[in-house]
Amino acid sequence: MVFFNAKFAKEISILQDVVSYYWAHFRGKKEWECRERITDLLFQTGDEPEELRRGLEESLILLRRFLGVRYLAVFLALRDGDRVLPLMAQDGLPWQQIQSVQFNWRKADLPPVQEGSFNATEWIEREQYQHDFPKKFIIKGGKGPGKEHLQPAIYLVPAGRQYRGVLLVGEWLEARRGQSLSSYGGRHFLQTVGQLMLTQAIAKRAVYASRQHDRQRDLIVALTSHSIRAALHKAFDQITLMKISATQPDNIMKLLEKLEQNIRVMRKNVDISMETPDTALIPDIHETEMDLEPVNIGALIQNCCNMFDKEAKDNQISIVIYEDVEYLPIVHGDRYMLELVFANIIDNAIKYSKPGKEVRIKSKPIIASMNYNSIEIEIEDWGMGIPKAEYERIFEKGYRSAKAGRSRRRGVGLGLYQARKLVEMHGGSIWAQSNPKGGEDDWNNHVVSFFVRLPLRQTK
């Protein structure tokens, strides 16, 4: 009897090994097929924002069906250095309720980012066995309306050596409830496929951003060159007249003044064209050049603020973003143009603030009627005031306040002009207010607010 039991147990063990072998082989084959289908799909996906979103969502549908989970969601940095990642694509969640949700790496309590110091794969290998993984990171990092739909989740895949993207994996569906990630469609598979999807998406977005940057730079160079060429022609004509009027000193002085004025125009245009890409000013553009897409405006504003972290610290300024900014809804607009608007205003706020003060960014929804909804963003600084008579003039082309000129702060008087033009192209409006906090004549002690109002839907 003992011999029979031992023999029976040995046969059972051999049978279990055979089943495990064939199961592992079957699982590996199915995982390979799923990975190959996703690879082919992403390879055929274009880099335009809408094409990329559709390609990612089709990939997520395949992956979610294979895994048997409640949802999958991809958050993607739209530019190198972004810390707030808007939702790029998802499957299994109510889109209307979660489209404005963001993932904020800075607030997720992840290791601080230094150049080349954070390896996502090594980090996930350490963290994935913790009992509260990934819950603690999603609770802290998930921001905006609909963030509650991200819980519960069973996995989180970050991409690359920087905080460039993340794939969130929702809980198991009822049919697979209670199983672990060590089984079919396990941790290694999720890391491999997740990294594949994210790196492909990041690369395609980088190609698109590079093409957009080239397009905008070409526009700036073309328009600036046209302006410089016109000024050079005028300068040449004035030099010719000076030769003719060599015996008339009064005429020569007048021509020299005009020549000097034209040289200033050329220098100003060169200054504009040499601005950094993040704050470059576009000379003149039309609505036909707008590249419209859904824009997570809350994430865009927060990432604009991150761009000026060092400048703010150097000037002893704190940037405070109110929580309501995280809950701003999606705006249909040109991402590059909107970045220019907020980058210019935030740059000015830091530039004209007093050391030790705060630049505050707030927002609120505006409901004018059942058919028209808009949002209003306020950027407030404490420092140099604006006379009421200049509230409108500061938005004129080339205008610089006399007080700003005396402060010797850099500027060519085009930032606010372009900000208003770009906002109006989106069907919105921009205006300024200045409230004294000291005496009426104490122009260095004002709270200055710039308001930007944008429609949630295009009105044109």
List pLDDT tens digits, range 184-221.
447 788 888 988 899 889 889 888 888 777 766 665 66
pLDDT at 99: 86
Q: Which CATH architecture has domain 287-455?
A: 2-Layer Sandwich (3.30)
Higher pLDDT, 94 or 235: 94
For the chain, the average pLDDT equals 78
* Residues 295-306, mean pLDDT to the nearest whole number: 92
pLDDT at 288: 62
Residue in 238, 268, 333 with CA at minimum distance from that of residue 294: 333
* Residues 334-351, mean pLDDT to the nearest whole number: 89
Tokens at 384, concatenated: 């140099």
List pLDDT tens digits, range 58-70.
999 999 998 889 9
> Is residue 72 predicted with pLDDT exceeding 70?
yes
- Residue 280 pLDDT class (50, 70, 90 cuts): very low
CB 343 within 8 A of CB 278: yes
pLDDT at 336: 83
- Residue 261 pLDDT class (50, 70, 90 cuts): low
pLDDT at 403: 59
CA distance 366 to 329: 12
> Is residue 325 predicted with pLDDT exceeding 60?
yes
pLDDT at 14: 62
| HEC letters along the chain | CHHHHHHHHHHHHHHHHHHHHHHHHHHHHHHHHHHHHHHHHHHCCCCCHHHHHHHHHHHHHHHHHHHCECCEEEEECCCCCCCEEEEEEEECCCHHHHCCCEEECHHHCCCCCCCCCCCHHHHHHHHCCCCCCCHHHHHHHEECCCHHHHCCEEEEEECCCCCCEEEEEECECHHHCCCCCCCCCCHHHHHHHHHHHHHHHHHHHHHHHHHHHHHHHHHHHHHHHHHHHHHHHHHHHHHHHHHHCCCCHHHHHHHHHHHHHHHHHHHHHHHHHCCCCCCCCCCCCCHHHCCEEEEEHHHHHHHHHHHCHHHHHHCCCEEEECHHHHHCCEEEEEHHHHHHHHHHHHHHHHHHECCCCEEEEEEEEEEEECCEEEEEEEEEEEECCCCHHHCCHHHCCCCCCHHHHHCCCCCCCCHHHHHHHHHHHCCCEEEEEEEECCCCCCCCCEEEEEEEEEECCCCC
Tokens at 146, concatenated: 């609909």
pLDDT at 19: 59
Q: Which CATH class is domain 2-208?
A: alpha beta
* Residues 362-388, mean pLDDT to the nearest whole number: 79
pLDDT at 96: 81
pLDDT at 103: 92
Tokens at 414, concatenated: 């085009």
pTM for the full model? 0.76
Residue in 82, 99, 343, 61 with CA at minimum distance from that of residue 205: 82
Tokens at 325, concatenated: 């900014």
* Residues 143-162, mean pLDDT to the nearest whole number: 84
